[in-house]
Amino acid sequence: MSLVGFPHIWSKNSSLAFAQDGEIKVGVLFSLTGTTAIIEESLNKATLMAIEEINANGGINGLKITPVVEDPASDPATFAEKARKLVLSDRCVSVFGSYTSASRKAVLPVFEKQENLFWYPTLYEGRECSKNVIYTGAVPNQQQDDFIPWLVEKFGKRWYLIGSNYIYPKEENNYCKKLLEGLGAEVIAEEYVPLGHSEFSSVINKFRSEKPNVIFSTVVGDSVVALHRQYRAAGLDPATMPMASLTTSENEVAAMGGDAAAGHFTSAPYFMVFDSPENQRFVEAYRSRWGGDKVTHFVSESAYFQIHLFKQAVAKLAASDIGPLAIREAVKGEEYKAPQGLVKVEPENLHCWLRPKIGQCKPDGQFEILTQSADWLEPNPYSAYPNQKCTAEGLKEV
């Protein structure tokens, strides 16, 4: 019995082309069960809808996109298993999926070692420079560059930072603190609560005694709902002490109720109320496909437009050339008129140029868009670390 093994046995399939029998297979990897299923289901729906749209319009150069849907059940290990199935067994040319950073990190080795391509629609903390991921969500500089100065000017310089205790809030705060320092503002507290924390009375007491001008909240998940409700129940006033968030979307507001969220601010590249012909089409199509009460939000919008970027990239390739790495090269610099406005894939770091907006939540659960950035904003996943830069050759010290 040989222990040496056959490290390349999967290559027995590599002679097969990715586009075959008039179809091209892609993986769709969002949790349909488990703790993050509520939000990930909306991403699954937006993804499938975009695929259906493209197929209804004749596919890509006559090739039909066939989605292979798997349920990773909100569990990182299952994410890794299903990603393997999609890449190795189904031979998908790309996989669209995942919401949390933990699940993205769990599938990364599969895509990097098998030289496949993963499309990640969620905003995240940055500081990642993978050559096998197309990131279509916002990174810290895109959500904060306009937002933080705007808040300082409008409300004041005493800031309270509250977040869930993991890497995403810490990285967002690292960048926020840098911006605040440049603006001469003061961080009066930086506090982290455990993930899933739902008892905020001591935190709210501190809000009351410290009287910050702005509460910068990077609390995520169910904690967002608890924090907003308890803030409201404590009788604090968003007009003088607003919470500013990067993660509170229409989806979270629907969970907590518009009353609890009203008056607070969110910065994001997309809001459901955004007025553009593309968005009108997107919202109408989404509601007629999945139900009139459904909301779209900034992650589902990315999940939607990344399929169209994929389509444009594949359309540039001859059928026999279609493969994960060819698609990656083809998508570099590609532009698409998304519901949020024109977006572009940055060739250097594979993140997207996006159009950040500042929204204030209203009691009906929708946002009012107060300002939007004059132009699209370059993605810089290492914005808090000016001596590092993500380039097409990998991470560089500058």
Partner 1 sequence: MSGKVSRQILLYGVVCLAILIVPVLVDDAFLLNKYARYLIFGMLAIALSLSWGYAGILNLGQATTFGLGSYCMAMFLKLKTVPIHTGSDGLPDFMVWNNVTELPWIWVPFHSMPIALLAGILVPALFAALLGWFMFGGRIAGVYAAIITLAAMVVVNLIIIDQQSYTGGFNGITDLARFEIFGLTFDAYSASTYYLVAICLTVTLFLALAVSRSKTGLILQAVRDQEERVRFFGYDVALYKTFVFALSAAIAGLAGMLYTIIMEFASPTFLGVPLSLSIVIWVAVGGRQSLLGAMLGAVLVTGVQGALSETEAFLETWTLVMGGLFVLIVLFMPKGLAGAFEALVRRFPKAERKGGARHATEQTSKSQPHLGGAL
Per CB under 8 A, residues contacting partner 1 are 1-7, 9-10, 12, 32-33, 69-71, 73, 75-77, 80-81, 84-85, 88-89, 101-102, 105-106, 108-110, 113, 127, 129, 165-167, 170-171, 194-195, 388, 394-395
Least separation in angstroms between CB 262 and partner 1: 30
Q: How far apart are CA 91 and CA 17, in angstroms?
A: 10
Give the residue with the Cβ less far from partner 1, 247 or 373: 247
Give the residue with the Cβ less far from partner 1, 165 or 205: 165
Q: Tokens for 72?
A: 């990773």
- C-alpha distances in angstroms, 378 versus 191, 316, 347? 30, 24, 11
Give the residue with the Cβ less far from partner 1, 173 or 266: 173
Q: Is the separation of the CB atoms in 314 and 152 below 8 Å? A: no
Give the residue with the Cβ less far from partner 1, 114 or 360: 114
Least separation in angstroms between CB 19 and partner 1: 21
Give the residue with the Cβ less far from partner 1, 49 or 272: 49
Least separation in angstroms between CB 237 and partner 1: 33
Least separation in angstroms between CB 169 and partner 1: 11
Burial (Cβ within 10 Å: 0-12, 13-18, ≥19) of residue 62: exposed
Q: Is the separation of the CB atoms in 67 and 51 below 8 Å? A: yes
Least separation in angstroms between CB 104 and partner 1: 9
Give the residue with the Cβ less far from partner 1, 31 or 340: 31
Least separation in angstroms between CB 114 and partner 1: 9
